[in-house]
Structure 1
Amino acid sequence: MAANLPKTMQGQFLEAFKQPYVLRTVPLPKPTTPNDILIKVDAASYCHTDFVLAEGQMPPFPSSFPHVSCHEFAGTVVSHSSSPDSKASTFKIGDRVGVPGRAFHACETCFECQGSKDPVSQDEKGYSVYCAHAENNGISKDGGFAEYAIVDARQLAPVPDAMTAVETAPLMCAGITIYAALKRCQIQPGDRVGIMGAGGGLGHLGLQYAAKMGFKVLGVDAADGPLKLAQSLNTGARIADARSEKASDIVQELGTEDGKKEMEEMGIDAVIILPESQAAFDYGMTLLKSHGKCVIVSFPEKGFQISARDVVFRDISIIGSLVGSNRMLREMLNFSAEYEVRAIAKSYSLSRLNDLVEDYHKGGGGKLVVDMALTE
């Protein structure tokens, strides 16, 4: 099944590490398996991982050049298999879908696909975003910085009517990643959660999700632009400037507010670490009360130094969080539509992708998105 399609498309290609993207015209990609769907990309969002990949810091990816990046995008179904055994048949031509990078062509048979024991991010048997044999749009295979893309029907989420493609695209990585991290905190409404890097792409979405989930929220950042963005959201979160406020002073402040007398019970119940910074990690750990949970999302090249004293004597749990399942992706999108959680985003045409990257390095916070409807 297919709409009337062109024979070629434009895409922005990486042709070497540490080089600008190059706009090229190439043949339209074609589905190769029954689960494949061809979509017309409507919006594609830029992620820090796109920068890491382009710098050559994610070996062995990409495995070859030229390469189309972007693992958080949204589009419209234009062609798919009509086979009744295909998951593609659950989507119709014209359906609007959100596309996360993971997991393209999951194997269906490995430990993860057959149902791992992850209690937070688990899909139906036969598919897993953690499948070690799967590819990933924008990382190991081509992604969303092009007019069309091949995606796996099993990785998609229907876009709610209340949301546009530009609003949806940033949620396909930033949104699901911070949503899943909040779920991994395993705290209850009224508990305190801290977000290190609160004004960035994930962080400012996390402030909104956490507030709508009923948590008491502390957002921390260390740059003027992101702090201004975090404060502008009016989520009710306490926003702290790590450059001028000590974590220990904030712990005392929150302890007084909560009527606590012992230092061990002062502070926050969970913290999410988004920056690739040891200083941010240490600040977040200081904020935690005893028995708190530290959820790590970032993965700096040299890792983090962890205090055994925090883990042993304060009983701090440290866990990682990558992404959420397809089930959680759909839950997150519906939550976003219902509670009007939106990324603060700036849009660019596909031809201006290198301008987008240049603006990304200025560190203004929020998300930067390619809107395919723009021509300049």
Structure 2
Amino acid sequence: MGASEIPDTMKAIQVVEFNKPYKINTVKVPKDLQPTDILVKVAVASNCHTDSMVTAGTFGTKLPCTASHEGAGTIVALGKDAEARGFKVGQRVMCGLPLHPCGECGDCRGPENQTQYCSNLDGHCGVHVDGCFAEYVSVDSHSTTPLPDEVSFTSAAPLACAGRTIWRGLLQTGLKAGEWVAIVGSGGGLGHLGIQFAKALGLKVIGVDARDEGLSLSKEQGADVIVDARKGKESVVKEVHAVTNDKGADSTVCISDHEDAAAIACAVTKMHGIMVQIAQPKDVVIPFEELIFRDIRIHGSLLCSADESKSMLECIAKNGITVKTNPFNGLDKIEELTGMVHGGKIQGKAIIIVDPEQIDHEKKIGVNS
């Protein structure tokens, strides 16, 4: 697609008022690119739990704002700095979230695995600035990742946030092959990916969930042990200790925002172990005994850095990791999508096929995963 073929306007799903349904509006295509920017023709965009936080006004988003921070598609235009970084028109990419980091703060200067924490940026796509529930999106080349031929758009879109988040969370545990990791909230969009990632890293996995659908998906994705959190903390800890030589998991990743989730995550972790907190409830509640008497160390974790994103996609390509998706065809299906998500019965990720022609094209070139 040449520059002259890019339209002036497009359809976009937007948050126009907090705590109200999305609206589909006609808006301008974001052609005014900064040097590091990439204009992506969106193939697939995905729904994430954070989207509900955006619509609730949690992040103080300036409205109207195009929703979704998870997207993948094809580059149709780019700034000169993005081109110098190796990006090119026609390239398939997983969209980045952070937009325009300052490049000067301590986080931007590194180490590389914390550059995504720059607090002097313009915001995150789909959270503070326009996102991927649209026909086109402008993203930053610093955080955007080229797709291997083995990874499809339908897999890549949910990976843009969910995949990047759980992959980094697992890296933060510092575990080695053969060790036990517990994933609290294992049967959701992040969790089912986390199980597959952990197995690819050689870890033994304890999946903890509180829904029948979540427990079923955890087992389906290969968790070595499944534990029902509805039995209560004491029972959960007992079951975890039974398979870990009475020590507890070597490390735990918490991706459930239930009020008891962080406490359970700490309780199933061995003494002096790391609990990685990814979920974002209003308050993370942990009994002092876990911190003081058991020396559980709490690590917060955000998105992958650029290099971590690349390593995630390499892992997916090498190990054939798949994303369980619930596809909806077209931006006008947003009400159906949100109805499924809020119904609580969803397994995996809800996605919108924005541009079916791109899906057809990648099938012709042999991309199927």
Aligned to 1:347: 327
Query: Amino acid of the residue matched to residue 304 of structure 1?
Result: V
Aligned to 2:35: 34
Task: Give ranges in structure 2 of 5+ residues lacking alignment.
Answer: 358-369
Aligned to 2:342: 361
User: Is contact 1:226-1:366 (8 Å) kept?
Assistant: no
**Secondary structure of the equivalent of 1:77?**
strand
Comparing 335-344 with 138-147, greater Cα deviation is found at 335-344
1:252 & 1:305 partners in 2: Cα distance? 21
Aligned to 2:364: none
2:37 & 2:15 partners in 1: Cα distance? 24
Runs of 4+ in 1 over 6 A off after TM superposition: none
CA drift at 1:213: 0.8
Corresponding position: 1:132 with 2:119: yes
Aligned to 1:11: 12
Aligned to 2:158: 170
User: Is contact 2:187-2:218 (8 Å) kept?
Assistant: yes
Query: Amino acid of the residue matched to residue 369 of structure 1?
Result: I
Change (3 A) 1:43 1:340: same
Corresponding position: 1:271 with 2:266: no
Indicate which of 86, 89, 93 corresponds to 1:93. Answer: 89
Aligned to 2:277: 296
**Secondary structure of the equivalent of 1:112?**
helix
Indicate which of 143, 155, 158 corresponds to 2:143. Answer: 155
User: Is contact 2:155-2:322 (8 Å) kept?
Assistant: yes
Query: Amino acid of the residue matched to residue 87 of structure 1?
Result: A
Indicate which of 108, 116, 124 corresponds to 1:113. Answer: 108
User: Is contact 1:68-1:138 (8 Å) kept?
Assistant: yes
User: Is contact 2:186-2:195 (8 Å) kept?
Assistant: yes
Indicate which of 333, 343, 352 corresponds to 2:313. Answer: 333
Aligned to 1:25: 26
CA drift at 1:8: 1.6
Aligned to 2:287: 307
Indicate which of 227, 233, 255 corresponds to 1:240. Answer: 227
User: Is contact 2:43-2:356 (8 Å) kept?
Assistant: no
Query: Amino acid of the residue matched to residue 211 of structure 2?
Result: A
Change (3 A) 1:225 1:2: same
User: Is contact 2:276-2:301 (8 Å) kept?
Assistant: yes
**Secondary structure of the equivalent of 2:267?**
helix
User: Is contact 2:135-2:355 (8 Å) kept?
Assistant: no
1:287 & 1:137 partners in 2: Cα distance? 35
Aligned to 1:372: 354
CA drift at 1:249: 4.3
**Secondary structure of the equivalent of 1:133?**
coil
Corresponding position: 1:181 with 2:179: no
**Secondary structure of the equivalent of 1:129?**
helix
Aligned to 2:71: 73
1:288 & 1:27 partners in 2: Cα distance? 50
User: Is contact 1:10-1:23 (8 Å) kept?
Assistant: yes
User: Is contact 2:96-2:139 (8 Å) kept?
Assistant: no
Aligned to 2:266: 285
CA drift at 1:32: 3.2
Taking only aligned residues, the RMSD between alpha carbons, in angstroms, comes to 1.8
Number of equivalenced pairs = 352
CA drift at 1:195: 0.4
User: Is contact 1:271-1:288 (8 Å) kept?
Assistant: yes
Corresponding position: 1:191 with 2:179: yes
Change (3 A) 1:252 1:51: closer
Corresponding position: 1:226 with 2:224: no
Query: Amino acid of the residue matched to residue 321 of structure 1?
Result: S
2:237 & 2:17 partners in 1: Cα distance? 47
1:225 & 1:257 partners in 2: Cα distance? 23
1:374 & 1:17 partners in 2: Cα distance? 30
User: Is contact 1:207-1:237 (8 Å) kept?
Assistant: no
CA drift at 1:252: 4.4
Residue-by-residue CA offset, 1:291-330 (whole Å, 9 max, x unaligned): 11111001211x1222222222212111111111011011
Change (3 A) 1:198 1:240: same
**Secondary structure of the equivalent of 2:119?**
coil
CA drift at 1:88: 3.0
Corresponding position: 1:141 with 2:129: yes
Query: Amino acid of the residue matched to residue 98 of structure 1?
Result: M
User: Is contact 1:293-1:318 (8 Å) kept?
Assistant: yes
Aligned to 1:125: none
2:239 & 2:318 partners in 1: Cα distance? 33
- The percent identity for this pair of structures is 35
**Secondary structure of the equivalent of 2:54?**
helix
